[in-house]
Amino acid sequence: MNKNGYIFTSESVTEGHPDKMADRISDTVLDAVLTMDPAGRVACETVLSPDLVFVSGEIGPKELLSEIDVEGIVRGAAKEIGYKDASYGFDPSCEIINRLKPQSCDISMGVDKGGAGDQGMMFGYACDETAELMPLPITLAHKLAKRLANVRKKSALPYLRPDGKTQVTVKYDSDGKPVHIEDIVVSTQHEKGKDQKIIHDDVTEHVIKAVIKGGLMDESTRIHINPTGSFEYGGPAADAGLTGRKIIVDTYGGGARHGGGAFSGTDPTKVDRSAAYMMRYVAKNIVAAGIANRCEVWVAYAIGEAEPIGVFADTYGTGKISDDKIVSLIRECFNLEPLGIIETLNLRRPIYKATSAYGHFGRTDIDLPWEKTDMAVVLKEKAGL
C-alpha cells in the first residue's frame, strides 16, 4: 500500500453497448434452453453489426436446437434495449444467421460424470468499502450506467440513445479507504444535433447528482460528459459487438483478478461461470462474517475432473485468522465440485439475462444466489470470532 494512498478507476457500460447487447442475446438463448431443460448445455456466442447478427455455439441436447427462436430473441433484445430503427445504431429488421449446433461429445463426456466443463482458474472478491461488499469505483460506475438507461427509458431525457459508458476514479488513503471521487466520465449516445451544453447539464443533474449525493464528491471532482464533443453514432453501427468482451465490467472493475473466461452464454456446468459465482459467494461471506475486511479467493480445475486442483485465499493482511486457516474453512464449509456449486447456488434456472448488463456481482436490484450472506454466521463461529 502506498503511504500516500492511491487512485483507482473502473468503468461500466449500458445495456445498449454493442458488447452488452451481444451478452444479452447469448444469455437469453441460455435462459430459453434452461426453461425447456434445466440440465441443458449451452455455449453461445453472438456477433453484432449494424444490419447482421451472427449467433453460433453449442447446445445440448440436440433436440432443443429446433426449439430455440433465435430470431425472436434477437429482435426482442433490440426492442427491450431501445433500438427502434437503424438511425439509433442498429436495425431490428436486420439479417440473422443462426449457426448453433449440438454440443461436442468430448466436452459432454467429462461433464456427464460431474467433472468441470473446462480447465482454468476462477477468482472471487469482496471488500467492506460499500454496503454491497464491492469496490466503490465499479459500484458507482454501474449505478451511473443503469441510471443513464433509466432516464432514457422513462423519457426524462428522451434525446438519449441506448449506447453509453461511465467511469469513476476514486482516491484511497494509505489504509485503503476511499476518501474522494476524483473524476466522473459519462459518454452517452444522443440524437443528432443536440446541444452538448444541454446534455452536460441534464446528465449532471439527472444522472450524476441523482446517484452520488454529497460525501466523496465535491466541487473539486472533475466531471467529463461526452468529452469527444459528440456521440451521435453509437451501437453496433459504430462498433461491432461480441459476447464476453466486457469481463472486467462484469466482475470487479479491475479491483480483483480475473481468470479470463467470460460468463454470458454459458451454462453452469462451465466453471468459468459457476465457479466464479461460487468464489464471489465464498469471498462475500468471509467479509460479511468479519473474518477479513478484504478477501480474494480463487480455485483451479482440470477439465472433466470434479475435485478442484487448488484453492487459495488472500486477505491482504486484513484477516483475523491466517489465510491458510481461511482456505481450510473454505474446503470444510463449501462444496466446490461443479455439481456441488450448481446445487448450492441453484443455478439450473433461467436467471441469466438479467446479469448481462450492470455487473454480475454486488447487485441489489435482482435476487442472485451468490450474493447471499447466509454462510457468514457459520464461518464466524468456525473461525472462533
What is the length of the chain? 385
Q: Which of 186, 183, 160 is nearest to 13 (CA)?
A: 186
Shortest CA distance to 263 belongs to which of 364, 134, 354, 339? 354
Question: Hey, is 31 helix, strand or coil?
Answer: helix
pLDDT confidence of residue 116? 80
> What's the distance, CA 140 to chain centroid?
14
Cα(376)–Cα(385) distance, integer angstroms = 11
Question: What are the per-10-residue average pLDDT scores of the chain (385 residues)?
Answer: 86 98 98 96 95 95 93 96 93 95 70 74 97 98 98 96 98 95 98 96 97 91 95 94 97 96 95 97 98 97 91 97 98 96 97 98 96 98 95
Determine how β-strand 120-127 pairs with β-strand 294-301: antiparallel
pLDDT of amino acid 112: 62
Cα 42 from Cα 105, distance rounded (Å): 13
Which stretch of DSSP H or E encloses residue 165?
strand 160-172
Report pLDDT for 2. 65
**Res 107: pLDDT:** 60
Q: Among candidates 345, 359, 308, 315, which has minimal Cα distance to 166?
A: 359
Burial of 3 (0-12, 13-18, 19+ CB in 10 A): exposed
What pLDDT sits at residue 193?
94
Q: Strand, coil or helix: what is 12?
A: strand
Do 347 and 274 meet the contact criterion of CB atoms below 8 Å apart? yes
91: Cβ–Cβ under 8 A, 6 or more apart, which residues? 50, 51, 85
| SS3 label, residue 257 | coil
